[in-house]
Amino acid sequence: MPPRSQDERMAWWRDARFGMFIHWGLYAIPAGKWNDHGDHGEWIRTTAKIPREVYARFQPQWQPEQFDADQWARLAKAAGMKYVVITAKHHDGFCLFDSAFTDWDVGNTPDGRDILRELSAACRRHGLKFCTYYSIMDWHHPDYLPRRGWEADRSTEEADFDRYERYLHAQVTELITRYRPAVMWFDGEWEKTWTHARGLRLFELCRRLAPEMIVNNRVDVHRRGMQGFSGSREAVGDFDTPEQEIPATGLPGVDWESCMTMNRHWGWNAQDRQWKSPKVLVRNLIDIASKGGNYLLNVGPRADGTFPPRAVERLETIARWMRRNGESIHGTTASRFDRLDFGRCTVRADDDTSTLYLHLFDWGEGMLKLPGLANEILRAYELPYPERELPFGRTRDGVPFVLPPQERDDLATVVAVEVRGRPIVRKAPEITAESETFVNSLRVHLATTDPEAVVRYTLDGSEPTRTSPSADDVVQITDRCTVSAALFVAGKRVTPVTRRAFAKVSPLPPVKALARGPGLERTRASVDWRRIPDTREVFDQPATVVERIDLPTAIGEHVALRFRGFLDVATDELYRFALTSDDGSKLWIDGQLVVDNDGLHGATEVIGEAALARGLHQVELVWFNRTGGAELALHWALPGEAFTEVPNDRWRH
Ligand code: FHN
């Protein structure tokens, strides 16, 4: 039954908060060691430059005789993990399922056990969601491109990436129809042969076959490195995937999951002794949940199918902590507190009463202050002992507090604070606007979600008082000013004051040029850039006139384009420009650099602005593609309006 909404699709995942990642494959056999180097992991085929036919010798050695899917599921469940994501196929292309489309799979190993079939069944028996990781990058398949740089001997003559995409679709279809994964976790999407168009087709395949299945953002090409944040308007995928890091303030407004290792490697490495302590792992879980994210914690099983003992120890320690405190993680959401002296806070919000879970990391004897909390505290107690009530009150300046318990859990002590109604945390209002400069006027947003509070503000930098004007969201400014704002309830200021300055600027005058006609001049050059150089002599070929800024079909690699001409603007205004490119690009207007989107990257959008007077303004845009996918688009927006493509009739040359 297709979910009625994205919220319905994501509901179980948001409640889960915690999952197990499993990186397992042939690479567990060498266990990170090749010749005299022992720091390899699941990338060993590439990092040790093992030729394809040599690596293939691991397939007959695959004998996970101690693999016990129920044991894995029990350990995950006890640790409070609600879902398991296993590498159905990692970058080496080896499949942990018996695929009809390749012999490079467990079906062609001595015991031929279908790992995914056994693990999916065990997950169902133990009430866990079974999920699959699938690498788009495939170092084994003859049609996958690009080859590894050191594999020059492997011919690419017959390679056909479109045929590889059909193979990929066929296998993903196998995974979905056979194992019904709750999440499809794509990876290996960063090479230039994978494009937004291919990502969209794969995402649509997943939606068509399993509308309820969740798909991560690495199906597309917009992930920003390890931050994992798409950010692009056109990106597809249901959640963002920061890796080995926890975003400082979470990723507000999107679903996100931080995936991390327990030591330094995803795949089993017998030499790796740098295991994170249970305290670090538990506090990562708390930190992530307090910011509204999920924690996907990795185990790299050994070749025999057992979890490393150091991993089991950690899972069992986490299990003990979760038995006491799991309700402070599962089914909770981020708190609105910006920063708490003692640790973190998660929230279980209900209409009549809500519970704030205070996670105490390192605190003295002092009171646990909750700055900005507006709710009435009903009671406070140490988890999991509701009978062990704790004293609470308000400081002289009205800040609510709870006194900490005597007992301390070295991993983290949790105090439950029940309050009346849905949590209200009063923070100084954010002062937001599209820009800090304007030509004519600017809409400044002074919003609060607090039903009892009103935002009061001044424009001269002075502190707002109970008689200052109130703002219900937007204030229109027409002169240089400093906006100062605070929340008031019943005539009393209940938050600190925030301030932000805005400047009125004069638009760049139009250039005195006689434009010859519509369109821009576009010049092409062969280049070997990683960044755009300051010189332009490469563009020594005759220009052609084009009607808009975009790429000719099949533009290819090691190529640069320069667009030159004039932009005809109708009114004096501050214009914002959104430049999307793969690889790098730069936009100058009247000789001033307005957008710098330079460098080697996938399709990435950068926004800049320019104050322009009515008339013609000189424009130069340089773009390049080194290898693989290529994209270029320029959008603009007037204040308060959505971005649109620059109309063709605005270009002159
Ligand atoms: O290259 C992979 C890596 O081996 C591992 O699978 C991680 C886990 O998310 N993902 C890629 C690196 O971003």
Give the mean pLDDT per block of 10 residues along the chain (653 residues).
92 98 98 95 96 97 98 98 98 98 97 96 98 98 94 91 98 98 97 92 98 97 72 84 94 94 98 97 98 98 98 98 98 92 94 95 85 94 95 92 93 97 90 96 88 92 94 90 94 92 97 89 96 92 95 90 97 96 96 96 91 97 91 94 94 95
Mutate to test the pocket of ligand 1, among 94, 184, 243, 245 (most ligand atoms within 8 A of CB): 243
d(CA 82, CA 73): 10
Task: Report the SS3 class of residue 426.
Answer: coil
**CATH 3.90.182.10 in the chain, residue ranges:** 520-652
pLDDT of residue 416: 98
Top CATH class of 6-328 equals alpha beta
Q: Which residue has the tokens 């492997």?
A: 154
Q: What is the CATH number of domain 520-652?
A: 3.90.182.10
- Distance in Å, CA 519 to ligand 1 centroid: 44
Ligand 1 atom closest to the Cα of residue 259 is 9
Report which ligand 1 atom has the smallest distance to the Cα of 133: 6
52 closest CA partner among 98, 7, 2, 104:
104
Closest C-alpha to ligand 1, atom 1 = 188
Query: Quick one: which atom of ligand 1 is closest to the CA of 137?
Result: 1
**Interior/surface letters 352-383, b for 16+ CB within 10 angstroms, e for the rest:** ebbbbbbbbbebeeebbbbbbbbbebeebbbb
User: Ligand 1 centre and the CA of 244: distance in Å?
Assistant: 10
For domain 437-504, give its CATH number from 2.60.40, 1.10.620, 2.40.128, 1.10.8: 2.60.40
pTM score, two decimals? 0.82
* Domain span(s) for CATH 2.60.40.1180 in the chain: 343-420
Nearest Cα residue to atom 10 of ligand 1? 187
Closest to 345 in 3D by CA, of 336, 362, 357, 354: 357
User: What pLDDT does residue 648 have?
Assistant: 95
In this structure, the residues whose C-beta lies within 6 A of any atom of ligand 1 are: 42-43, 187, 243, 259, 266
Q: How far is the CA of 226 from the centre of ligand 1 (A)?
A: 9
The residue to mutate among 44, 90, 223, 266, having the most atoms of ligand 1 within 8 angstroms of its beta carbon, is 266
CA of 187 to the centre of ligand 1 (A): 7
Which atom of ligand 1 has the smallest separation from the CA of 190? 13
Report the CATH fold assignment for 343-420.
Answer: Immunoglobulin-like (2.60.40)
Residues of the chain with CATH 3.20.20.80: 6-328
C-alpha 288 – ligand 1 centre gap (Å): 19
Task: Note the pLDDT of residue 338.
Answer: 85
Q: What does the pLDDT read at residue 556?
A: 87
> Among candidates 622, 629, 632, which has minimal Cα distance to 557?
629
Instruction: Report which DSSP code applies to 458.
Output: E
Q: Which residues are CB-neighbours of 96 under 8 A, at least 6 positions away?
A: 24, 25, 86, 87, 88, 89, 105, 106, 115, 116
CA 127–ligand 1 middle distance (angstroms): 27
Give 70 Cα–ligand 1 centroid separation in angstroms. Answer: 26
Cα–Cα distance measured from residue 609 to residue 573, given in angstroms and rounded to the nearest whole number: 10
Instruction: For residue 226, give the ligand 1 atom closest to its CA.
Output: 13
Gap from CA of 225 to ligand 1 centroid (Å): 11
